[in-house]
Structure 1
C-alpha cells in the first residue's frame, strides 16, 4: 500500500498563526506601555528624589564596583570571594547584553513626555531599549555575590529590584526591558555557578564546650608557671612581669638556656595544682604533654612569636589568661597524639610546608595574602622536596602536607584560625605534585581561592589518620619544631582530653 500523503498546511493557516503571534506580541507591547505610563505618571515625592539618583549611581556599574571594593577590603575571605564573583558575573553579563542581546531586536526608548521633569533622566540614552543593561548588571552582581554569601545577596537583590524600578520611573526603559535584563543577568549568574561552583564552609554539629569546674584563684595560689624569658624576642620578660604583678602567689620558674624543658615542666607541675606555661608553641606543647599525663589543668600565657594555640583558645594576651585563672574558667580541648606518645596542639607537616610558611610570611609584607600564597607555593614546588606517602592504599607524591588539630579556616593552603578546638577531628590537607600544567592550574586556583576544586588537592576531616613514607623515613615537623624521621606515622584525636584555662566564649 502506498504511504498516505502528508497533509499540507494551507497558506491561510500559516498566515493565521503569524497573525495570532503578531496580535499576542502587540498585546504584550500595549500592556508594557500601559504599565510604563502608570509608573511614569505616578505622583510621588519619594520617587522624584530617589529614582534619578539611584539610576545615575548605577551608570557604568559605579555602585556595584564601589560595593565590591568595600567587600574586598573587609578582610573576610568569603566577602572577597563574593565580590570577585559578583564583578566577574557583571562583566560577562555586560558583554552579553551590549554586544549580543541589544542587537537581536530593535525597540525604541519610551517617549519621556509623561515623566515629570524632576524625575526625568538628565540625558536620555539613545541605544536600543531592549534589554535594560542596568537591570542585567544589577541582577548579575546580586546573584553572583549571593552565590558565595546568601545574606548579602538577598540585600543586593532588593537593591537590584529598585534599580530596575528606577529605569522605568525615570523614563529610560519599559518594564519589559527591565525583566529581560533581569533574565539575562540571572542566566549568566546561574551558568557561572555551574561552571565554577561556590565554596561552601563545612557546617558540623558540635556539642557545647565541656566546662571544667575549677576553683577561682584571684591571687594565683596553687599555680606554677614555667616561663621562657627569651621567647618572642623578649615578650617572655613582659609576660613574666604581668604574672608577678597580677598573680602574686603564683610560683614562677624561669627556664635557663641549657635546661631540659620537659624535666623542668614536670618538676614544677608535681608541686602545683595548675601548670602554667609562657613560651612558644613548642614549649606549650611540651607543657600540654605533662598536664595531660598528670591530669591537671593547663594555663597558657602568649609569650612566643605567633602563639597559635593561645590565640585560638581566646588567650591573645596574658591578661586574658590571668582573668580566666582568677574567675575559674576552664574548658576541655582536643589534642592530637602522634603514635600515641607525642602531643600536637596545632599542626604537623612533612615535606616543604615549613619552608612554604616562612616564604609566605616574608612575602605578605609587600603582597596581598592570596598572591603571597601563590608565589610562595610556586617557589616551594620549584625546589624539589617531594615525599611519596601511602594513604589508604594509594601512593601520593606530595611536597605540601599539613595535618591540623581541629578544623582550620579557611580551606586551602592558607589556614589561619580555628573556631573550636574540641570538634574531635583532624584537618588533613595534601597537595599532590602533578604535571607542570597541573601545577599551574593549582597556582591559579590558590589565587582565586578555589584550591578545593583542584584534582591535585585533597582535604579531609577525620578522627584518625595514618600515612607511610614509601621511600624510607621522612621528617615529621610538629608545632613548629623539627621532629624525628619516621617511616610510618599514626595520628589520632584525644577528644577533649586537656583541661585548659580560657575565657568563656559563645558557642559557634
Structure 2
C-alpha cells in the first residue's frame, strides 16, 4: 500500500529521516546536511499556506544565519552560561527567591514573585504538553554556529516553540503585572535568555517569538484567574428590619413583562400572606409604575411592613426610590431579564428572599442619585438642595435638557447602555470575555464621543460610567464584576477617553484581557462627581432606564441608606440578630 502523503504543514515542521546527526524523530541538533527548513520539496502549487511557510522559512534561515555570522563582543562568555542557567527554570526560581528575601518592594515584590512563578509553571506545562507535541519541528543545524557558542549538552526535544523563551517571558510578564519596578529589572534578563537560544544555535528566531508570545499570554491568563478569585471583602452587618411571617405586611408590585408567570406563582407560594399587585401597562406600553410603587410603599409604611418588587433593573430602581421616600424596607424578588442588585445581594430565587423576609435579615444599601445643577455649577431646583446633599429626586430640574433621579446599580453617559445590552445579549452564547469584545467593537463602530467637563476639566469621552458602590473583578464596573459591600459610600467611576487611535487601543486591550489597564480607560472611586457642559442630546442611562441628560449635574448619594432584605449564607444556621 502506498504511503499516505503528509499535508504541507507536517512536511514543513516534521523531522526529516534522511538527515544525518541527531537521527529521525529525536529533534536533536545535528551538524550534517543543511535541512530544507522552509521550502516544500517539489512544491509548485500556488497555495497561500505554502507561500507563507516558504516566506517564514526564508526569514528564519536568513535571521538565524545573520546571528551566527555576526560577532557579538563578550557574548560568548555570558549567553551560553545564561542559557544553561535557565534550564529547568533554575534561574527564575533563584530570581523569585531573591525578590522575596531582599525585602525590596515589600508585599508587592512577594506577590510579584509568586505571580511570576505561577505564570512560568503554566507556560512550561503548555509548551511541553501541547506546543512541542503539536509542532514536531527539528532543531537547527549547527554548521554555521561557532563552536565556542554551542552548548555542551544539546537539548533532545523538538524545536518549536522555545520553552526557555516562554518561561522567561511568562516570569517577566507576571512580575511586571504585579510590580512594574521589578518587572523593569527582570525584563533585560528575560530578553537575554530568549536571545541566547538563537545565539547558541538551538532555536530558530520564530521558535523564540512563539515562545515569548505564549509565555506572555500565560501570564495574562494567570492574572485573570487570580483577580477573579480575589479575596472577598468582609460581609456587611445586618440592620433592623421587621420579620414578616409568610410575608404578612409585605406589599409586592409585580411587573409581569419582566418575568414569567411561573416565577410570579412561585412568589405567591413562598409568601402566601403577601399582597401581590400586578402592574398592567397601558395599551401603548406606558403606565405609571412609579405611582403604583409609591402607593404600595405608603400602604406598607402604615402597616409596619415592607415593599416588595418583582421585575428587572428598571422596576427595582423605581421601587428603591419609593421605599426610601417612605422609609420602608425593600424586598427584591428576581423576576427580570437582568437582576443585578439581586445577584449582588446573593438572591438566586424567590425562596431565598422569602426566608430573609420571614427571619427579618436585612442590610443597608446605598441609594445613589444624580441631581441637576445650574449651568454655573450651583444647585438645581428652586430650593438649591440638590448640591447640598440634603435631598434629591426626580422632580428637581436645573440646567437644561433633563431632570434628576436615583439609581441602585449604575449611571452612565454615552454608549455604556448599549455596551451592557450587547454584552449581556451575547454572554450566554459565547462567554463573558468574547461578549465584552463584541460589545466593545459594536459600540465603538456605532457611537460617537461627547464633550463634558468632569470636575471642571474638559474631556472628550466615549462613555462615562458610575457604579453605586465599588465593583470587584477584572474590568471593574465595565466588565460585569460584582459588588460585595453595598453601603461603602463610594461611586465606582470609569471613563473611556476619545482621541487618536482610541478605538483601536481599546479593542486591543479587550483582546488582551487588560481593558482596565488600557491608556484610554481611567478608573477612580470617589464620593461625588460633578459634570458640566454636557452636550445637548446626550442620553443618560440609569438602572435600565434612559432619559435626556441635564447639561450640568452632580453625582452623589443620599445620606440615609435603604434597608434591603438579603439571605444569609447557607453555612450560617440558627437565629441571628443585628446586635449579636
Would the TM-score normalized by the shorter structure come out above 0.5?
yes
Q: Indicate yes or no: 2:176 matched with 1:125.
A: no
Q: Indicate yes or no: 2:511 matched with 1:467.
A: no
Aligned positions of 1:35-434 closer than 5 A: 87=123, 105-109=149-153, 125=156, 141=170, 209-232=236-259, 235=260, 237-258=261-282, 259-272=287-300, 273-339=305-371, 340-341=392-393, 342-364=405-427, 367-408=430-471, 409-411=473-475, 413-434=478-499
Aligned positions of 1:484-495 closer than 5 A: 484-494=548-558
Cα displacement (A) at 1:147: 6.8
Cα displacement (A) at 1:479: 0.6
The TM-score, its normalising length taken from structure 1, stands at 0.62
Tell whether the 8 Å contact from 1:239 to 1:278 is kept in structure 2 after alignment. Answer: no
- Number of aligned residue pairs: give it: 374
Structure 2: segments with no counterpart, 5+ residues: 1-77, 89-114, 133-138, 180-207, 372-391, 394-404, 572-580
Cα displacement (A) at 1:506: 9.8
Q: Compute the RMSD of aligned alpha carbons.
A: 4.6
Question: 2-side partners of 1:105 and 1:419: how far apart?
Answer: 57
Match of 2:562 in 1: 498
The TM-score, its normalising length taken from structure 2, stands at 0.55
Question: 2-side partners of 1:497 and 1:312: how far apart?
Answer: 16
The 3-state SS of whatever aligns with 2:561 is strand
Q: Residues 230 and 83 from structure 1, CA distance in 2 versus in 1: closer, same or farther, beyond 3 angstroms?
A: farther
Q: Residues 369 and 221 from structure 1, CA distance in 2 versus in 1: closer, same or farther, beyond 3 angstroms?
A: closer
Question: 2-side partners of 1:249 and 1:433: how far apart?
Answer: 54
Cα displacement (A) at 1:274: 0.8
Question: 2-side partners of 1:263 and 1:417: how far apart?
Answer: 31
The 3-state SS of whatever aligns with 1:213 is coil
Question: 2-side partners of 1:483 and 1:438: how far apart?
Answer: 27
Q: Residues 454 and 147 from structure 1, CA distance in 2 versus in 1: closer, same or farther, beyond 3 angstroms?
A: closer
Question: 2-side partners of 1:404 and 1:104: how far apart?
Answer: 62
Question: 2-side partners of 1:386 and 1:84: how far apart?
Answer: 41
What are the Cα deviations for residues 450-477 of structure 1, in whole angstroms up to 9, with x where unaligned?
2233222111111111112343352211
Question: 1-side partners of 2:445 and 2:275: how far apart?
Answer: 50
Cα displacement (A) at 1:415: 2.7
Q: Residues 221 and 401 from structure 1, CA distance in 2 versus in 1: closer, same or farther, beyond 3 angstroms?
A: same
Match of 2:104 in 1: none
Cα displacement (A) at 1:270: 2.0
Question: 2-side partners of 1:506 and 1:397: how far apart?
Answer: 47
The 3-state SS of whatever aligns with 1:212 is coil
Q: Residues 369 and 468 from structure 1, CA distance in 2 versus in 1: closer, same or farther, beyond 3 angstroms?
A: same
Structure 1: segments with no counterpart, 5+ residues: 1-24, 33-50, 52-78, 111-123, 151-183
What are the Cα deviations for residues 41-99 of structure 1, in whole angstroms up to 9, with x where unaligned?
xxxxxxxxxx9xxxxxxxxxxxxxxxxxxxxxxxxxxx9xx8799549987xx9xxx89
What are the Cα deviations for residues 400-430 of structure 1, in whole angstroms up to 9, with x where unaligned?
2211111223226323322221222111111
Cα displacement (A) at 1:305: 0.6
Tell whether the 8 Å contact from 1:274 to 1:299 is kept in structure 2 after alignment. Answer: yes
Tell whether the 8 Å contact from 1:262 to 1:287 is kept in structure 2 after alignment. Answer: yes
Question: 2-side partners of 1:476 and 1:134: how far apart?
Answer: 51
Cα displacement (A) at 1:313: 0.8
The 3-state SS of whatever aligns with 1:500 is strand
Question: 1-side partners of 2:347 and 2:538: how far apart?
Answer: 34
Question: 1-side partners of 2:147 and 2:407: how far apart?
Answer: 63
Question: 2-side partners of 1:417 and 1:102: how far apart?
Answer: 58
Cα displacement (A) at 1:218: 2.8
Question: 2-side partners of 1:102 and 1:481: how far apart?
Answer: 71
Cα displacement (A) at 1:286: 0.9
Cα displacement (A) at 1:323: 1.1
Question: 2-side partners of 1:375 and 1:244: how far apart?
Answer: 39
Question: 1-side partners of 2:153 and 2:426: how far apart?
Answer: 53
Tell whether the 8 Å contact from 2:170 to 2:216 is kept in structure 1 after alignment. Answer: no
Tell whether the 8 Å contact from 1:301 to 1:310 is kept in structure 2 after alignment. Answer: yes
